[in-house]
Chain A
């Protein structure tokens, strides 16, 4: 039993999520290369980084959808890969995750999609109906309950996916680019919902985004993922004003700098620090 506990949690303040020295390769291509980080209870972490640096892969590790080649993932102090399949499934019920393309079940209509996590937790029909309506109202999508995912636009599908992720009011929320491809108004609506969830549920939130204004608004801390590691992390204001060349290049959106599309860090950047 002892081996399953996160050694860091014995120190006192247990981080809600913690990754320790994660390594992951796909067909010889290294995606995560000794990545470590932690998210405190109730904290909102935003992960940014160029496309294809493994941000989604990292998120899938946090919820146990992918198994690291080496390294450990702890959720509430429990080693995700030291417990049984069944316990892992139970642990996942504390999560809400929205996927990049929505990942809606296309054999079901919108209502059934959002109701899915509620039904699986055995809530009464009336409560489910009210909660589904409430969630669809939150993402400004009334009157689509009976539509199939294939009848919705990409942005609408993503918003339904978001509604499904928050429906069962989970403790930990993982959002994979929740506002990519949305108009500026909807982007702000989603940001507001994320802030709301935090306030109301005291949820721990990890969000991936490319949208720096969103990152500033919803994050307690912003981390830059690059070359399989977190190369810089700081609170939003400090992050945006940082002189670190990699951060500057990313924030200013410049092709010139230490970050290259091949994923190699050129020149010096500050090493990542644990908060």
Chain B
């Protein structure tokens, strides 16, 4: 009986969490277009989500591109198709790897700090103080964070695409001796900006919404002091990352 109870409790908790997230999405949407607009805070968050994440995204996509080239040159050599390496690297990066890996890295870096920040504001009554001063916390805290994530993620992904392709080029051409002209030509031969690059950016914007919303909701509903803040941070990263991966599957099905 205990076993079924545990299952029931878990299901209820998951549904509750879904409820919180969707309810909050509605509130965030409602408050986004109401004045006052806190433009300076929006820019501050864009720096935090975007500019500050550049090194992490740079390294992640650089090494992903390099590994992709290494693996495909190796594999494709078995049936003499080394000339197609550029295409494989470019397509897999723009369509899949760059958006997903960027989202996972930014969830870990930014999502965790959003949840921790809002969580400690909750447990030290700062969110209550905001409300008491007639300021809507959803508008003041969440809207700039979520909007900045939606705007900055596609830009990070564009940079990641370029860096990854460059990383693939470095390995294929400089390390494994593939013909540079053939490689570059081949990289862009099958790449359609409208389909591949843009769909990657759409994905990235959706991932930005997902991870920031989950992080904000987890932080906002924090209870139980310092331990609670830790719990919220962990849950923000775990459920944020998992939701990105789930959403990735359905978005790919939808967009391609």
Contact = CB atoms under 8 A, between A and B. Distances in A.
B129 A99 contact: yes
A89 B134 contact: yes
Interface stretch (B120-128, B161-169, B181-189): B120-128
B133 interface: yes
B128 A103 contact: yes
Interface in A60-113: 60, 63-65, 85-86, 89-93, 95, 97, 99-101, 103-106
Contact of A63 (B34, B125, B132, B136): B132
11 contacts: A65-B128, A85-B136, A91-B134, A93-B133, A97-B132, A99-B125, A101-B125, A103-B128, A105-B121, A106-B126, A120-B135
Contacts of A116: 133
Nearest to B128: A65
Contact of B126 (A65, A92, A105, A117): A105
Contacts of B134: 89-93, 95, 117, 120
Contact of B133 (A64, A86, A92, A100): A92
B179 interface: no
Question: Chain B contact residues (Cβ within 8 angstroms of A): what range?
Answer: 10 to 19
A91 B133 CA distance: 10
B74 interface: no
A92 B131 CA distance: 8
A89 B132 contact: no
Nearest to A116: B133
Interface of B: 34, 36, 121, 124-126, 128-136
A60 B128 CA distance: 9
Contacts of B126: 103-106
A164 B128 CA distance: 14
Interface in A207-254: none
Contacts of A92: 131-134
Contacts of B121: 105
Contact of A106 (B124, B128, B130, B132): B124
A23 B133 CA distance: 25
A65 B131 contact: yes
B133 A117 contact: yes
Nearest to A167: B133
Contacts of B132: 63, 65, 92, 95, 97, 99
Nearest to A63: B132
Interface string A42-63: 0000000000000000001001
A12 to B, nearest CB: 29
B123 to A, nearest CB: 10
Contacts of A64: 131
A28 to B, nearest CB: 15
For B34, B132, B135, which residue has the most chain A Cβ atoms within 10 angstroms?
Answer: B132
B129 A89 contact: no
For B121, B128, B133, which residue has the most chain A Cβ atoms within 10 angstroms?
Answer: B133
A89 B125 contact: no
A116 to B, nearest CB: 6
A81 B134 CA distance: 15
B47 to A, nearest CB: 14
B124 A103 contact: yes
A105 B128 contact: no
A164 B125 CA distance: 14
Contacts of B34: 86
Nearest to A99: B125
B30 to A, nearest CB: 9
A105 B129 CA distance: 8
Contacts of A86: 34
Contacts of A90: 134
Contacts of A104: 126, 129
A2 B143 CA distance: 35
B136 A120 contact: no
